[in-house]
Amino acid sequence: MRHPVALLIVALALFATACSTKTSNQPLQATLRLELTECGTSNEQRASAVAVDRGPGNLAVTVAHAFDNIESFVVQEANGSTMTAELVHLDVDRDLAVIRLERGAAETLGVADPNVETTDVSLITYSNDDGPERKPASILRFVRLSLDGVGDRDGIELGADIESGDSGGPVIDDEGRLVGMVFATSRGDDRGWAVASNEIERAIDAATTPIPLVCR
C-alpha cells in the first residue's frame, strides 16, 4: 500500500502540471481576432482583441483606431469559430475600445496590478491565419506617452517584433495576466508601444450602452 504522503505528493504534482498547462494556453484562447468591414466597401481590416474577466461579463478590449470608418465587424476565436459583438466604449485619445461579445469567450485574462512592474512579458498576436501565437517581448520602460501629439496616457515601450496587424494584441506577464495592449509600432526597429493596464481598467469600467458605428 502506497503511503498517504506519497499519494498527496503525486496528486499535487498532477494538479500543478494541469495548472501550468492551462496558464500556457489561456492567453492564446483569450486572444481574439476582429474582422472589420470598411464603410461602403467589401474591404476588411484586422485587429486583435483580448477577452477580460472584469466588468459585467463577456467583454473584450481592443484598439479604438480599428473602428475608424467601419460599418460592421465580427469576432473570431482561436478555434476558428465566429461571433457577433457590439461596441460599448470608444476612447480615441487613448486608442482604447471595449466590445461586448454575444457569448463568453473560451478563456479570459485578468488585468495585472498596474503597481507591480515586470519585464518578463510576451505578446500574443495573429500574424497569420493559423491562429494566435506567442512572441517574445521585453518591457523597455513605463512611460507617459502620446502618438502624434494625441492622447496623453500611461504606456509601455516594448522591445518586440511587432507588425502592423498586431494592434490590439495583449502583452502578458509570466502568470498570464494582461499587462498592456499594443497600439503602435516603430518603423525601422523592433520597438512598439502598448497602453498600460490601468488605462485598460478605466476603459472597462466606462463600458456602458452600445455605440453605433459611424461612416464618414
Flag whether pLDDT at 31 surpasses 60: yes
Q: Note the pLDDT tens digit of each residue in 152-204.
A: 789 999 999 888 778 999 999 988 999 999 998 877 778 899 999 999 999 99
Q: Pick the closest to residue 32 from 73, 76, 79, 83 (CA basis).
A: 76
CA distance 114 to 139: 14
Q: Looking at the DSSP assignment, which residues form a beta bridge with residue 62?
A: 97
How does strand 59-62 pair with strand 70-76? Answer: unpaired
CA distance 147 to 150: 5
Q: Give the model's pLDDT for residue 5.
A: 44
CA distance 144 to 199: 11
CA distance 101 to 84: 6
Q: How confident is the model at residue 148 (pLDDT cuts 50, 70, 90)?
A: low
CA distance 157 to 86: 30
Q: Looking at the DSSP assignment, which residues form a beta bridge with residue 17?
A: none
The residue whose grid cell reads 494592434 is 167
CA distance 82 to 204: 22
3-state SS assignment for residue 77: coil
Beta-carbon-side half-sphere exposure of residue 83 (alpha carbons within 13 Å): 17
Q: Looking at the DSSP assignment, which residues form a beta bridge with residue 82?
A: 76
Q: Give the model's pLDDT for residue 57.
A: 84
Which three cell numbers mark 171? 502583452
Q: How confident is the model at residue 24 (pLDDT cuts 50, 70, 90)?
A: low
Flag whether pLDDT at 8 surpasses 50: no
What is the fold, at CATH topology level, of the domain defined by 120-197?
A: Thrombin, subunit H (2.40.10)
Domain residue ranges of the chain, discontinuous segments joined by + = 120-197
Which three cell numbers mark 169? 494584441
CA distance 184 to 195: 9
Q: Give the model's pLDDT for residue 164.
A: 74
pTM of the shown model:
0.85
Neighbours of 200 (CB within 10 A): 27
List the alpha helices (DSSP H) in the chain: 4-30, 197-206
Q: Pick the closest to residue 158 from 171, 145, 175 (CA basis).
A: 171
